[in-house]
Amino acid sequence: MTNKSQLITSLGSAAESSDSSKLRKINIEWIKDLERGDLAHKENEKAIHIRKTAYGEDLFIQYPGKESMNGKRPWDFRPKLCKPGNNTNKYLKDLSFRDIWDVVIGIINDPIQKKEEIGSLLAITFYRMAFMLDHKYDETSKKRKVIYLRFDDEGSCSKEEHLEDFDITFF
């Protein structure tokens, strides 16, 4: 059970001059400036290692995403998780927004779950994410693992892995 004091947070500001707006702009520019060259969704993609989670998964951003194919969202990307203890061959499946929300709604609709507590946790999590209250500048290393993925007509994927320099921003 969650202690109500764990849900207390500072109020964020949506103003353009606010800290969270500045952090969002920095991240947007970082994503926008990533080299795309000959990359194409489900043909030639690139995955950049962002961090290792508390459970040991490796978190990557992989791009370009499917929304980049129509030209409306050229900077589209998706998060990719790799199970711990593997050599980046055990990615968890791509989740669409619908997949994610189906899980959330399923938990909320589960009669065994404490809906008030779950709703509070979700609300505070989304709020903290929106105002980037827990985001920190990553100063650990500018060298990041990068994986180039090339898909053939049968859906097989070849991988080329190496280190590249990046100025990782606020994640």
Cα radius of gyration rounded to whole Å, the chain? 18
Domain membership of residue 3 (yes or no) is: no
Query: Model confidence over 124-163: pLDDT tens digits?
Result: 888 888 888 877 776 666 788 888 888 877 767 788 888 8
Instruction: Pick left, alpha or beta for residue 152 (phi over 0 → left; psi -120 to 50 → alpha; otherwise beta).
Output: beta
Domain membership of residue 6 (yes or no) is: no
Check: CB of residue 101 under 8 Å from CB of residue 122. Answer: no
Comparing CA positions, the residue from 166, 108, 157, 101 lying closest to residue 138 is: 166
Check: CB of residue 41 under 8 Å from CB of residue 68. Answer: yes
Q: Which domain holds residue 82?
A: 15-95+135-165
Domain membership of residue 7 (yes or no) is: no
Strand partners, 79: 61
**In this prediction, what percent of the chain has a pLDDT beyond 90?**
5
Q: What distance in Å separates the CA atoms of residue 89 and residue 4, rounded to the nearest whole number?
A: 40
Query: Model confidence over 19-61: pLDDT tens digits?
Result: 778 888 888 888 888 888 899 988 999 999 888 888 888 888 8
Domain membership of residue 115 (yes or no) is: no
- Counting the structural domains of the chain, the total is 1
Q: What distance in Å separates the CA atoms of residue 62 and residue 15, rounded to the nearest whole number?
A: 30
- Long-range Cβ contact pairs of 156-160 (< 8 A, separation 24 or more): 159/88
Mean pLDDT of all residues belonging to the chain: 79
Check: CB of residue 90 under 8 Å from CB of residue 111. Answer: no
Domain membership of residue 49 (yes or no) is: yes
Query: Could you identify the residue written with the tokens 């207390």?
Result: 8
